[in-house]
Amino acid sequence: MHFCGGDSIAIIFVLFLLFFVCVAFFFLSRTPKPPFFSRARTNERTTQTMDIDEKEEEEEERQTQREDAEMTTTTTSMITTTTTTTGRGLGKSNDNNNGDDGVDQDLLILERIIATKTNNNNQKLRLLSQGAEARVFTTTFLGKPCVVKQRFKKKYRHPVLDQKLTRSRLLAECRSLMKARILGVQAPTVLFVDKPSASIFMERVEGKSLKEVLKAIAERECEGEEEEDNARTKSSANDVTTASPSSPSSSSPAHLRAVKYGREIGLIVSKLHDGNITHGDLTTSNFLVHARTDSVYIIDFGLSKTQIVGEEDIGVDLYVLERSLIAAHKSEGERVWRECLKTWKETCGKSKEAFKRYEEVRARGRKRSMVG
């Protein structure tokens, strides 16, 4: 059979092409493919690992709850025995208490803790105040006068949610108090923490709140002005030339005390903000003036933040303090606030950026009060 030159070249080209296709197919068939099932197996292993981690976390949480329940049961049984034999206790007696009143049980636990630590069964709790979140008692602990802040249970919340919220807020407050002490802030020392009753035993600061002190200063200043007016009236009746009424002197004791308190508060707030802490409730009720040293202490870190603290939080902190001072205490509050803000600007490292945010927060607050 005779082929022409063009046909032979075409046939040879086709044969070479078929040869290369066969070789390529052979090598491709030998190369391992990533099958769909292998990816499915990988995803299945990842899911199993995540399920194992979640189960371990749930098991740890159950173990913690079990230990707390055992501790509470043991403490409650000890309290019941003591109450039965001695007939003492702050809560109801065993005949009237059906176990539904969690507050009384917590009080009994606190009472037993104090009796155990002090070796004195006659120590009792005396209620100082009660708020929306906690009650504050005074007693003696480890030979020192102390304050007990106990977060009571909320019946309107789910028990599991209430337990988690109470525990997280309890630990956050303890963390803030201890961090503030490390930063050099004058705050109560934490003596003991009891998780089952959600209680913090703290050093008691003898003194009055800044709110009461500023009110007393205002009353004294008003009395002094009345005495000056009376003396001025008598002098005018006797035809004695008198000077025109003037504003209180900047060197008066009331003014000097207000300036002193403003500086101390500004320094306290500055240290907290530089240490990445915002108090959350800077009101005059949460500052105490020590009876002996006349220095300012800060209390109640129940709404504080110590983790992600931004300029907005600092601005809100300052605005709450300003409104608390000026709205409730007028002239004395304005003096304290001016000195406080001045000291905060001089000592706080975040003052430049945070002050701009404070002015924005203040503008929003004014607009809200105008609109209503």
Q: Which residues are catalytic?
A: 281
- Angle, helix 253-274 to helix 210-237, in steps of 10 degrees: 160
Beta strands in 54-188 (DSSP E): 126-130, 134-141, 144-151
User: What does the block give as tokens for 274?
Assistant: 């530089």
- Residue 236's contacts (CB-CB under 8 Å, 6 or more residues apart) are 242
Residue 343 CA, distance from chain mean position: 24
Of 355, 195, 347, 197, the residue nearest 274 (C-alpha): 347
Separation in Å, CA 305 to CA 20, 162, 163, 273 = 71, 20, 20, 10
How many C-beta neighbours within 10 Å does residue 303 have? 16
Which residues have C-beta within 8 Å of that of residue 166, sequence separation ≥ 6?
Answer: 151, 153, 198
Q: Let me know: does 202 contact 149? Beta carbons within 8 Å.
A: yes
**Angle between helix 351-371 and helix 311-347 axes, rounded to 10 deg:** 120
What's the N-to-C CA distance of the chain in angstroms? 108
How far apart are the C-alpha atoms of 340 and 159, rounded to whole Å?
A: 43
Could you give the angle at which helices 36-86 and 102-118 cross, rounded to 10 degrees? 70
CA distances from 163 to 58, 66, 68, 127, 289 (A): 16, 13, 11, 23, 34
